[in-house]
Structure 1
Amino acid sequence: MTKHPMHRSLRLAGLALVAGAGLSAATAQAQDKGTVHLAYVEWSDAVASTNVMRAVLEQAGYEVELTSLSAAAMWQSVATGDADAMTTAWLPTTHEDYYKRLKDQIVDLGPNLDGTRLGLVVPAYSEMETIGDINEHAEAIDGKITGIDPGAGLMSLTEEVVEAYDLDVDLQSGSGATMTASLQNAVGNEEEIVVTGWTPHWKFARWDLKYLEDPKNVYGGAEQIHTMVRQGLEEDMPEAYAILDAFEWTPEQMGQVQLLNQQEDSDPYENAKQWVEEHPDVVQEWLPEE
């Protein structure tokens, strides 16, 4: 199979640098192996898993570049080969539309995490118990559900929830950061708030929260987070492909990285490297046998 032109030019540039500048053997090895391009969305789970994969792939001798995109652009970048992989495909429900449209252009390596959940989240002290209770408390929540970025599958599902339950509130888009900031402010003042939520997410470790019951099951059951790679990656970079294929961890392990990322002035990449160093047995399961 013809190698991706981006990677071919990167490898040639790397070889020229090695020959001309006398770089270290370790750097030369990394450039010989090439650069792995990972696409992700600025969601806490995606930031955690993508940076952990970056640290592991670099440990294996690859250079790694990360690109932050919207959810739709992330899927498209892997389908077109502009990115090599992503580790944050939520299936079968959240990213169902993207998967149906692009499944013939990408390679699904299967789940890297089990035990996810989507829904509407409120503080544990809230009087609301089910999604149907929202209309009775519309004034207390300023007539809105606080959401995340408009391209997220969770937002599309929540639009369906608003219609299915005939909710007299608006779904407000924003980002994961603005959602958690609003949640923090509301909890600090013991006010009512409804936010779009998912597990795994660090907010459940930070605050006492609960999901509103979804008797109509619009959000569906538990999901999995899959790793997707571009076509041809297995032939171009078999070792990187094998590492991405073997990548699998638990919500608890992801939560450890997510919490590190919430520390003031913390660096997600440095936190990922720290986690990788502290969990050699887990990481060894992802690496090909010598």
Structure 2
Amino acid sequence: MKKTTLTKLGGILAASALALSACGASNSGGGSAGADEDTSAEGKDWSSCKPGEGSKDVADTEDDEKKVSLGIFNGWDESYATVYLVKNVLEEDGYEVETKELDAGPMFTGVAKGDIDFFTDGWLPLTHESYIEQFGDKMVDHGCWYDNAKLTIAVNEDSPAKTIGDLKDMGDEYNNTLYGIDAGAGLTKTTKEAAIPDYELDNLEFKISSTPAMLAQLQKSTDADENVAVTLWRPHWAYDAFPVRDLEDPKGAMGEAERIFSFSGKDAAEEHPYVSQLLQNLVLDDDHLASLENLMFSDDNYGGDNHEKAVAEWLEDNPDFVDQWKKGELAK
């Protein structure tokens, strides 16, 4: 697994504030938030969003302006997946769609200033909280489309461990090794400072390397029907490409799940009610998202090349998706 997209995602995504503090319950950008505390950014409880909330049929909605720009977060697979899904549908509807790839800071700035119309990868309530505090009054959120963004420790699905704590007594089953990603990633920090001490996993060698190396080991072990334990995160296409499952985390050492939101500038929302509602209707569960990303990014498929063709193929394999999306029927 050698694609730049994977390396960037592993480093950028996991190194972001998604990596919750060692207490395992931080949901407020640096402190520890209990279940009853305010976990909002700029006064809104982002953690309560349900994917597809506010969905409705777009049949009676139309944009006068059919030129639109969509922002993609550099290296974030789910950003490419969602934007190219939206791009496919809009172009079928006669839109001229421009895509722009930027890092998070320039993206929020560009949307707030009106230089970019929409983006689909706002992680809340934690990861992008500071940007909402800075730019939230100049932006419109169009709901969350995914609600299970989190750090994990995963194993091959037919292996014996059920919880992270099981690795303490079952280390021999996993060659006494936990395979990690980049040393500077937040996922690595959370694993080292929270999961390992909380679950007393000092018996394991925490093998820190890189995202491509971790994925290569995951493929090697599952191909050989050998047990393997790795640090991973959702969303990720590995859940579709390999027979893996998450270990339960009863102590919450890896942190709680975030939601992923779509945003626009205020002018874009007014000029593009159809696009705004289409984004409000979008819902992708783990199976849909992992299968789409697998097709787009794994070396066994398109390997990060030709996103348009990959998305078109995925939509052929999921023929009811667009119709349900436009009708607002994807919501749980």
Q: Give the TM-score normalised by the residue count of structure 2.
A: 0.59
Matched, 1:273 2:312: yes
Cα distance in 1 for partners of 2:248, 2:132 equals: 27
Identify the residue that residue 239 of structure 2 maps to in structure 1: 204
Matched, 1:248 2:283: yes
Contact 1:148 1:179 (C-alpha < 8 Å) held by counterparts: no
Identify the residue that residue 65 of structure 1 maps to in structure 2: 98
Larger Rg: 1
Question: How far did 1:125 drift?
Answer: 5.1
Question: How far did 1:95 drift?
Answer: 4.2
Contact 2:121 2:260 (C-alpha < 8 Å) held by counterparts: yes
> Secondary structure of the residue that 2:71 maps to in structure 1?
strand
RMSD in angstroms over aligned alpha carbons? 3.9
Contact 2:144 2:280 (C-alpha < 8 Å) held by counterparts: no
- State how 1:140-289 maps to structure 2 within 5 Å: 140=175, 145-147=179-181, 155-156=185-186, 158-164=188-194, 165-166=196-197, 172=208, 174-175=210-211, 179-189=214-224, 190=226, 192-198=228-234, 200-261=235-296, 262=298, 263-265=300-302, 267-276=306-315, 278-279=319-320, 280-285=322-327
Q: What's the % identity of the aligned pairs?
A: 28
Question: How far did 1:229 drift?
Answer: 1.7
**Where does structure 1 lack aligned partners over 5 or more consecutive residues?**
1-29
Are residues 132 and 75 of structure 1, via their aligned partners in 2, closer, same or farther at CA, if it must alter by over 3 Å?
farther
The one-letter amino acid of 2:146's match is L
Cα distance in 2 for partners of 1:140, 1:71 equals: 38
Q: Deviations over 1:92-114 (max 9, x none)?
A: 34544554454334322111234
The one-letter amino acid of 1:268's match is H
Cα distance in 1 for partners of 2:209, 2:139 equals: 29
Cα distance in 2 for partners of 1:77, 1:149 equals: 31
Are residues 161 and 74 of structure 1, via their aligned partners in 2, closer, same or farther at CA, if it must alter by over 3 Å?
farther
Identify the residue that residue 89 of structure 1 maps to in structure 2: 122
Contact 2:281 2:326 (C-alpha < 8 Å) held by counterparts: no
**Where does structure 2 lack aligned partners over 5 or more consecutive residues?**
1-62
Question: How far did 1:54 drift?
Answer: 0.9
The one-letter amino acid of 1:159's match is K
Kindly tell me the number of residue pairs found equivalent between the two proteins. Answer: 251
> Secondary structure of the residue that 2:121 maps to in structure 1?
strand
Contact 1:116 1:225 (C-alpha < 8 Å) held by counterparts: yes
The one-letter amino acid of 1:196's match is L
Cα distance in 2 for partners of 1:38, 1:226 equals: 13
Question: How far did 1:183 drift?
Answer: 2.0
Question: How far did 1:126 drift?
Answer: 5.0
More helix per residue: 1
Structure number with the bigger relative contact order (C-alpha 8 A, sep ≥ 6) is 2
Are residues 70 and 127 of structure 1, via their aligned partners in 2, closer, same or farther at CA, if it must alter by over 3 Å?
farther
Question: How far did 1:55 drift?
Answer: 0.7
Cα distance in 1 for partners of 2:279, 2:117 equals: 10
Cα distance in 1 for partners of 2:183, 2:110 equals: 18
Contact 1:85 1:230 (C-alpha < 8 Å) held by counterparts: yes
> Secondary structure of the residue that 2:324 maps to in structure 1?
helix
Are residues 124 and 241 of structure 1, via their aligned partners in 2, closer, same or farther at CA, if it must alter by over 3 Å?
closer
> Secondary structure of the residue that 1:224 maps to in structure 2?
strand
Cα distance in 2 for partners of 1:134, 1:110 equals: 38
Cα distance in 2 for partners of 1:79, 1:178 equals: 38
Are residues 268 and 196 of structure 1, via their aligned partners in 2, closer, same or farther at CA, if it must alter by over 3 Å?
same
Are residues 163 and 80 of structure 1, via their aligned partners in 2, closer, same or farther at CA, if it must alter by over 3 Å?
farther
Are residues 105 and 162 of structure 1, via their aligned partners in 2, closer, same or farther at CA, if it must alter by over 3 Å?
farther
Identify the residue that residue 5 of structure 1 maps to in structure 2: none
Q: Give the TM-score normalised by the residue count of structure 1.
A: 0.66
The one-letter amino acid of 2:97's match is V
The one-letter amino acid of 2:266's match is Q
Identify the residue that residue 15 of structure 1 maps to in structure 2: none
Question: How far did 1:160 drift?
Answer: 3.3
The one-letter amino acid of 2:292's match is V
> Secondary structure of the residue that 2:312 maps to in structure 1?
helix
